[in-house]
Amino acid sequence: MQIILKALRANLVLGAVSAFTVLLFGGWSGGVMGWLLGTATGYLKTQDQFVPNPQVGARIGAVNGLALGIWTAIANLAYGLILRPLIGQSSVPLGQSLLYAIVSIVLATASATLMGAIQGLANPRHKQATWFTLAFILLIFPFVDQIAKTGWIATVIQIQIFAMLALGLNIPVGYAGLLDLGYAAFFAIGAYTTGMLSSPHLGIEWNFWIVIWIAAAVAAIAGIILGAPTLPLRGDYLAIVTLGFGEIVPIVFRNLTEIKIVEPISSLVATILNKPELAICLVGCDQPFNLTNGEAGINPIGRPSLPIIGTFSSTNYLPWYYLVLFLVLFSMFMINRLRNSRLGRAWTAIREDELAASAMGINRVNVKLLAFAMGATFSGFAGAFYGSYITAIFPSVFDFSVSVIILCMVILGGLGNMTGVLLGCIIIMAADRLYLPQLAQVLKGLLNTTILPNVANPALRDFLAISFDPIQMRLFLFGLVLVVMMIVRPEGLVPNERRKAELHSENSVANESLADVRSA
């Protein structure tokens, strides 16, 4: 009993996440959360202690999974019996609620036990098994989502698109220390390249599998073009130039609607002689050439197709899910290789001390340009996928706030740490696209059925009805989280060790200089 109580406390955060999810979504979401977070707790709780064999690991996992399951089960009952009537929906019968609760507990305990046991395996085996379990979860998630009727898969695809972006931005910002505030520009360039090359708009409809590589290459070149003028710049100045680039690109795409290019020398001659017919027109002669279709955007964009599946459809998420999953895993693999390469070490050195790095014989110019180019490449992939998934792109999708949100994912998770960046991405995207809209709906129901009828003052009632909307408070909540985060945990959720040292180094630096004084 004591152990369970302790575990309940230890799993407070994960339990709260799980319970909150159940309170918002109800139904089988508790089971899905039990499965996912149970695996998480089984892994986490066996990391800070020695696990000699699978039995011990399984025991630790079981206790923690049970605790998590209990939190979820309580939420299941509370949702079905209390919350549902309050938000104006029929309550879930007790039997049904109990079924949900029991399934949550069973799934949480089982998956935590399994994960705990895996951590008790011998050294190389436990890592392999952990990866295998993760891969398995990712592979069967769409089916679980379908069975449980949670309908999360569309959001999960969005999360993965942004995961690619966050991983890409992490290269210049996290690895090379080059603050980039205009990263959405590369996303836009990737998406627009795809749009132009595979849509009836320009009459070019190339295969997605070719276009995605072209999009990545074009984005990489754009990275070099942005990188070149920023080479002599550092810190704040660099950030402002990238900010400008991020603003320019969507505006350019918005305005490339009436292009007419006249050969300049003949045009000059024509002006001087006052004979306009002498000017040689190159592009858009009869009618101005419309490259990007302005605010209306490019629509429709071709979808990828595969031999057996055929063309990906907009109603079936499965092929999209596996495609983006593959792209994310591919990006992770490539970035990991880059990180541990010669180039990766050069990035770290440049970030640490540029002058010392060049004294070591690191080519500052190439290394910085490659950081921008490599970062942009992955946003090119993301842009190509995005364009083809949504089948339409508009310039307004790529504005400054997107750059900021991606940057926030990187910082929230922990600069320079891949796991952290992915976690930051999942948290921000899930909160923004999944939890907030659902929370708004639940609160609206609560307001209409329970609170408003009991408010006597009509002015107050109107005020509440209008202003109480979490969706409108989205940016406020977002800012609040960032402020709190920067104060409480500036190094991010899963910090990179170097960053951590940097941000908490006042003490060590002070001690060091003291030691120097003493030795002098």
Partner 1 sequence: MLELIDVSTYYGNIQALKGISLHVEAGEVVTLIGSNGAGKSTTLRTIQGLLRPRQGRILFEGRDLQTVPTEEIVRLGIAQSPEGRMIFPRMTVLENLEMGAFQRRDKPAVIKADMDQVFDRFPRLRERMTQKGGTLSGGEQQMLAIGRALMARPRLLLLDEPSMGLAPMLVSQIFSIIQEISAEGMTILLVEQNARMALTVANRGYVLQTGEIVLAGDAKDLQVNETVRKAYLGEE
Q: Output 95 or 361, the one with its CB closest to partner 1.
A: 361
The token pair that represents 368 in the structure block: 């910085």
The CA distance from 356 to 349, in Å, is: 8
The CA distance from 20 to 3, in Å, is: 24
Give SS3 for 22: helix
Spell out, one character per residue from 354 to 393, where the chain touches partner 1: x when CB under 8 A holds, - when not.
-xxxxxxxxx------------------------------
- Name the nearest CA neighbour of 256 among 286, 296, 290: 290
E-assigned strand segments in 203-280: 204-205, 261-262
Q: Output 32 or 178, the one with its CB closest to partner 1.
A: 178
In the complex, the smallest distance separating the C-beta of residue 511 from partner 1, rounded to whole angstroms, is: 9
The CA distance from 382 to 372, in Å, is: 16
Give the residues across from 311 on adjacent strands: 305
- Name the nearest CA neighbour of 171 among 423, 369, 458: 369
Q: Output 272 or 509, the one with its CB closest to partner 1.
A: 509
- Give 467's contacts (C-beta < 8 A, 6+ positions apart): none
Q: Output 22 or 343, the one with its CB closest to partner 1.
A: 343
Q: Output 122 or 509, the one with its CB closest to partner 1.
A: 509
User: Which range in 148-156, 252-260, 286-294, 505-513 contacts partner 1 by CB under 8 A?
Assistant: 505-513
Q: According to the binding rule CB under 8 A, does residue 501 interact with partner 1?
A: yes
Q: Output 316 or 505, the one with its CB closest to partner 1.
A: 505
In the complex, the smallest distance separating the C-beta of residue 237 from partner 1, rounded to whole angstroms, is: 17
Cβ atoms 60, 116 nearer than 8 A: yes
Q: CB-based burial of residue 58 (10 Å sphere; 0-12 exposed, 13-18 middle, 19+ buried)?
A: buried
Q: Output 311 or 508, the one with its CB closest to partner 1.
A: 508
The CA distance from 378 to 174, in Å, is: 15
User: Which range in 16-24, 196-204, 372-380, 503-511 contacts partner 1 by CB under 8 A?
Assistant: 503-511
The CA distance from 402 to 181, in Å, is: 10
Q: According to the binding rule CB under 8 A, does residue 505 interact with partner 1?
A: yes
Spell out, one character per residue from 342 to 361, where the chain touches partner 1: x when CB under 8 A holds, - when not.
x--xx-xx--xx-xxxxxxx
The CA distance from 502 to 506, in Å, is: 8
Instruction: Please state the separation of Cα 133 from the chain's center in Å.
Output: 22
Q: According to the binding rule CB under 8 A, does residue 247 interact with partner 1?
A: no
Q: Widest CA span of the chain, in angstroms? A: 98
User: Which range in 38-46, 199-207, 309-317, 500-508 contacts partner 1 by CB under 8 A?
Assistant: 500-508
Q: According to the binding rule CB under 8 A, does residue 469 interact with partner 1?
A: no
In the complex, the smallest distance separating the C-beta of residue 168 from partner 1, rounded to whole angstroms, is: 23
What residues numbered 306-345 form the site for partner 1, per CB under 8 A?
A: 342, 345
User: Which range in 32-40, 153-161, 443-451, 509-517 contacts partner 1 by CB under 8 A?
Assistant: 509-517
Cβ atoms 17, 33 nearer than 8 A: yes
In the complex, the smallest distance separating the C-beta of residue 80 from partner 1, rounded to whole angstroms, is: 52
Q: Output 340 or 401, the one with its CB closest to partner 1.
A: 340
Give 489-517 as a DSSP string.
-TT-SS--HHHHHHHT-HHHHHHHHHHHH
Q: According to the binding rule CB under 8 A, does residue 456 interact with partner 1?
A: no
**Residues engaged in binding partner 1 (CB under 8 A):** 342, 345-346, 348-349, 352-353, 355-363, 497-498, 501-502, 505, 508-509, 512, 515-516, 519-520
